[in-house]
């Protein structure tokens, strides 16, 4: 008997598939198109992670099934290759990041190929390739030309260790996500993208897509639409007023004090009138060093200082109320000022207790207003509107979403293609001069003055203004890591196009992505950013669909043994190569799909790998045996095969890969016990297993069904199950007398009227009704109901 030698047969079939080009996606075809997408990997120096294998295998199974179902499938791969680890490595070793990236991507490609994914390798993209980032720059310029990219002074999160500005989302609990160092606040000129202009579109777009509910929820939360009103509060000392944003105007009569954010512009204006200037100045200074996250942390006790010498007037009660400066109010949300209602807001209550401020209840437990003048007794929903108009307030919608900080003072990113001219201001580099290539520099280290290393590339820096031709200076900031991944799914459609980022006809054919799977950690940022770019390009009429992804699912993480995170420092990182060496790629794929429910975090368990290996060996042995024949009849096995096929088919759609594999294990057990296996059932079994374990199934398929001219199993037709064989064995039949249910029978599925009538008449519960009665009519609905009319 031939041995299952995965180390020989896997590379053999990979070569054969490559040669036959069976995974190439064809632009335009009579077949229906199918576009599967995975998040393209960052080619780190550590090589492929088993987590990549999980997500890639899942979408490979879907893609392979679709191919067999007759679709023209696009399943592409590429490198999201700009990023900090590569740059840090370059800083350490002096090797240019482009060179490091080349080395790393080579390793990644080799590893991915060895697992037998059905990628169309001809469409490979690399975000660091100038031919790619030329278009990233071009899209940025479209945003700039439409006023959606602007340079603004913002306080940024500054990591003093990495010497880099961080986006809010890169700060976790006040610490740098990368190095764990405490983040400081710094004022810096930054390029920003006005994603807030798309807040509403990004929210509404969620209605029309098939994303996991949890993903939709996180997107919506991140956008944070909030309906409320702006209300003006006059102040005692003069013409100034304070405008607040509130979602609870119904509580206005309970507003007993006000709070300004430390950065609120009124504070500096009225400073001369304050009797406690020094205390206020001191407080404002202290607050400016803290990050937003720190300031709003629930656990932290509230701090603040009263503004002595001025008072505000509650426009509803007309009473004078004190004003505080406190850092639990943020300057960059709403108006940077609030009316505080301690009776109905937790944070305000905590503050009020600390400062001995009045707490006035104005809404009862049952939702009616109390102590609210003419509005007492009114339902709070109604009172919201009524009170806003009573005090001349304005309805207002706010979003928590912030504009996207789009510059980094680093080296390894796309140069921002703008030139600064003393006379003309910021001027786009003309299309014909794109890409603006990264210049060579000696030192990749960020400069301690906070500027990018590009600021040291003197020759590159100096240029001419594209408009007036006077001497001008290039922007030295580069784009953030999120830039290239915001549109890569569009480039896959037409990766070699030199005239445009992707041909519109091809985009019309392929877009949108039918199924995108990725990590849960990317559902707020990457998903939102890429939807934003796509929606923007849609508004420019450059892409055909406003939403880039029809469906988005997520996988659970793979943890190290014992449920801890896999990390280099723990030394528990599993290299897929070692598993492949011992057991083969098919076993690795099967194992990762079998580990547990796809969306859950599961620990690596070397012992269970053996189980999958045994399974494939059993399949191999069946394939070598003599029990399979065209003439074999084995009704029970045929029935089980059909049922398993149905289950595998349906489970793939639900990403229930583990239960699909369990079902195939049961079937393989029965097959290895069977005296004879009908050839048709064997063929169906290989077909359903093919997307999971493409190599072994190809080998066994070719051995039995192969023709002289190679035709791969992976382009065979996806089999159909025999409907009548997968039916439940017993049907539940309701037995009625004159329309009233009197008994329930279990009968073999598809029992005839005669059989059902006979069984019902013999039923003890029914017999007593029919005794001595004359049956006028019998109504029979197969597999459902029999009704005796007497
Ligand atoms: C009075 C009030 C009474 C409020 C009450 C809430 C409950 P969302 O849903 O997040 O939009 N707020 C407004 N601007 C703020 C800022 N810059 N910093 C901190 N808090 C701010 O929350 C809006 C509510 O948060 C607003 O409604 C305001 O407090 C507060 F029983 O006004 B509310
Ligand atoms: Zn100029």
d(CA 188, CA 608) in angstroms, rounded, equals: 53
* 674 Cβ inside 6 Å of ligand 1: no
* 246 Cβ inside 6 Å of ligand 1: yes
Q: From the CA of 312, how far away is ligand 1's center (Å)?
A: 18
DSSP β-ladder status, 149-159 and 184-193: antiparallel
Q: From the CA of 228, how far away is ligand 1's center (Å)?
A: 9
**CA of 247, closest atom in ligand 1:** 27
The pair of three-digit structure tokens given for residue 217, joined into one six-digit string: 């929820």
Q: Are 280 and 327 in contact (CB under 8 A)?
A: no
pLDDT of amino acid 298 = 65
pLDDT of amino acid 69 = 98
The 10 Å Cβ neighbour count of residue 570 is 12
Edge-to-edge strand ranges of the sheet holding 225-234: 241-246, 225-234, 394-399
Ligand nearest the Cα atom of residue 347: 1
CA-nearest residue, atom 14 of ligand 1: 334
* 336 Cβ inside 6 Å of ligand 1: yes
What letter would DSSP give residue 129?
S
Which residue among 220, 228, 245, 296 is best mutated to probe the pocket of ligand 1, counting the most ligand atoms within 8 A of its Cβ? 245
Q: From the CA of 400, how far away is ligand 2's center (Å)?
A: 37
Which residue among 222, 229, 246 is best mutated to probe the pocket of ligand 1, counting the most ligand atoms within 8 A of its Cβ? 246
Tokens 């505000």 belong to residue: 312
Q: Could you tell me which of 308, 266, 259, 267 has the C-alpha nearest to residue 284?
A: 267
pLDDT of amino acid 67 = 98
**CA of 333, closest atom in ligand 1:** 17
* 40 Cβ inside 6 Å of ligand 1: no
User: Who's near 319: CB < 8 A, 6+ residues apart?
Assistant: 313
Q: From the CA of 465, how far away is ligand 2's center (Å)?
A: 5
Q: From the CA of 752, how far away is ligand 1's center (Å)?
A: 69
Instruction: Compute CA 761 distance to the chain's CA centroid, rounded to the nearest angstrom.
Output: 59
Q: Are 453 and 163 in contact (CB under 8 A)?
A: no
Q: pTM of this prediction?
A: 0.88
* 372 Cβ inside 6 Å of ligand 1: no
Q: From the CA of 140, how far away is ligand 2's center (Å)?
A: 20
Residues of the chain short of pLDDT 70, as ranges, are: 167-169, 298-299
pLDDT of amino acid 499 = 97
* 592 Cβ inside 6 Å of ligand 1: no
Tokens 């080009």 belong to residue: 21
* 252 Cβ inside 6 Å of ligand 1: no
| Phi then psi dihedrals of residue 373, to 5 deg | 55, -130
The 10 Å Cβ neighbour count of residue 149 is 23
The pair of three-digit structure tokens given for residue 251, joined into one six-digit string: 């509580």
The pair of three-digit structure tokens given for residue 688, joined into one six-digit string: 């359903």
Kindly state the helix (H) or strand (E) to which residue 698 belongs, with its residue range. Answer: helix 694-705
């Amino acid at each position: 008997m031939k041995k299952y030698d995965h180390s020989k047969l896997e590379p053999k079939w990979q070569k054969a598939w490559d040669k036959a080009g069976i995974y190439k996606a064809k632009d335009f075809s009579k077949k229906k198109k199918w576009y599967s997408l995975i998040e393209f990997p960052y080619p780190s120096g550590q090589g492929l992670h088993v987590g990549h294998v999980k997500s890639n295998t899942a979408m490979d199974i879907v893609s392979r099934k679709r191919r067999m179902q007759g679709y023209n499938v696009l399943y592409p791969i590429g490198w999201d290759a700009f990023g900090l680890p590569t740059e840090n490595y370059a800083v350490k070793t002096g090797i240019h990041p482009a060179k490091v990236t080349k080395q790393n991507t080579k390793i990644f490609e080799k590893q991915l190929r060895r697992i037998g994914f059905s990628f169309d390798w001809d469409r490979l993209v690399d975000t660091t390739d100038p031919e790619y980032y030329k278009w990233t720059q071009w899209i940025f310029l479209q945003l700039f030309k439409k006023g959606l990219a602007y340079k603004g002074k913002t306080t940024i999160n500054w990591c003093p260790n990495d010497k880099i500005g961080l986006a809010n989302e890169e700060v976790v609990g006040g610490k740098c996500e990368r190095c764990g160092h405490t983040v400081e606040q710094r004022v810096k000129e930054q390029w920003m993208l006005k994603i807030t202009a798309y807040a509403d579109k990004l929210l509404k777009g969620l209605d029309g897509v098939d994303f996991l509910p949890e993903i939709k929820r996180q997107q919506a939360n991140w956008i944070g639409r909030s309906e409320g009103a702006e209300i003006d509060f006059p102040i005692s000392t003069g013409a100034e007023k304070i405008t607040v944003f509130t979602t609870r105007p119904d509580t206005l009569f309970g507003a007993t004090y006000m709070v300004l954010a430390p950065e609120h512009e009124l504070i500096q204006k009225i400073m001369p009138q304050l009797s406690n200037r020094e205390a206020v100045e001191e407080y404002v200074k202290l607050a400016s060093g803290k990050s937003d996250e720190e300031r709003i942390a629930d656990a932290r006790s509230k701090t603040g200082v009263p503004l002595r010498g001025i008072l505000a007037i509650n426009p509803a009660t007309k009473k004078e109320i004190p004003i505080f400066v406190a850092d639990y109010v943020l300057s960059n949300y709403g108006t940077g000022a609030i009316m505080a209602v301690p009776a109905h807001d937790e944070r305000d209550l905590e503050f009020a207790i600390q400062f001995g401020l009045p707490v006035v209840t104005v809404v009862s437990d049952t939702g009616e207003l109390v102590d609210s003048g003419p509005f007492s007794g009114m339902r709070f929903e109604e009172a919201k509107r009524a009170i806003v108009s009573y005090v001349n307030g304005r309805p207002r919608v706010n979003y928590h979403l912030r504009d996207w900080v789009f510059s980094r003072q680093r080296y390894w990113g796309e140069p921002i293609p703008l030139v600064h001219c003393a006379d003309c201001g910021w001027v786009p580099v003309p299309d014909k001069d794109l890409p603006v290539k990264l210049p060579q520099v000696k030192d990749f280290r960020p400069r301690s003055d906070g500027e990018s290393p590009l600021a040291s590339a003197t020759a590159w820096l100096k240029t001419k203004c594209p408009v007036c031709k006077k001497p001008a200076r290039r922007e030295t900031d580069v784009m953030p890591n999120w830039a290239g991944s915001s549109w890569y799914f569009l480039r896959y459609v037409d990766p070699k196009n030199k005239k445009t980022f992707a041909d519109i006809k091809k985009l019309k054919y392929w877009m949108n992505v039918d199924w995108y799977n990725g990590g849960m950690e990317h559902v707020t940022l990457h998903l939102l950013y890429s939807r934003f770019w796509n929606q923007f390009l849609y508004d420019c009429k450059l892409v055909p669909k406003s939403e880039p992804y029809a469906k988005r699912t997520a996988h659970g993480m793979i943890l190290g043994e014992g449920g801890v995170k896999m990390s280099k420092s723990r030394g528990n990182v599993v290299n897929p190569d070692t598993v492949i060496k011992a057991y083969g790629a098919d076993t690795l794929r099967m194992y990762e799909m079998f580990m547990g429910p796809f969306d859950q975090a599961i620990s690596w368990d070397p012992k269970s790998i053996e189980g999958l290996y045994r399974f494939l060996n059993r399949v191999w042995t069946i394939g070598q045996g003599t029990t399979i024949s065209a003439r074999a009849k084995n009704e029970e096995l045929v029935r089980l095969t059909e049922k398993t096929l149905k289950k595998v088919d349906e489970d793939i759609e639900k990403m229930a890969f583990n239960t699909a594999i369990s079902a195939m294990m049961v079937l393989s057990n029965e097959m290895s016990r069977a005296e004879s296996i009908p050839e048709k059932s064997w063929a169906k079994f290989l077909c359903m297993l093919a997307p999971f374990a493409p190599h072994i199934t190809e080998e066994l398929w070719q051995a039995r069904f192969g023709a002289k001219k190679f035709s791969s199993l992976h382009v065979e037709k996806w089999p159909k199950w025999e409907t009548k064989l997968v039916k439940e064995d017993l049907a539940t039949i309701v037995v009625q007398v004159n329309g009233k249910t009197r008994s329930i029978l279990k009968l073999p599925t598809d029992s005839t009227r005669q059989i059902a009538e006979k069984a019902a008449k013999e039923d003890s519960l029914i017999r007593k009704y029919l005794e001595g009665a004359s049956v006028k009519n019998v109504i029979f609905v197969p597999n459902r109901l029999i009704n005796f009319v007497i």
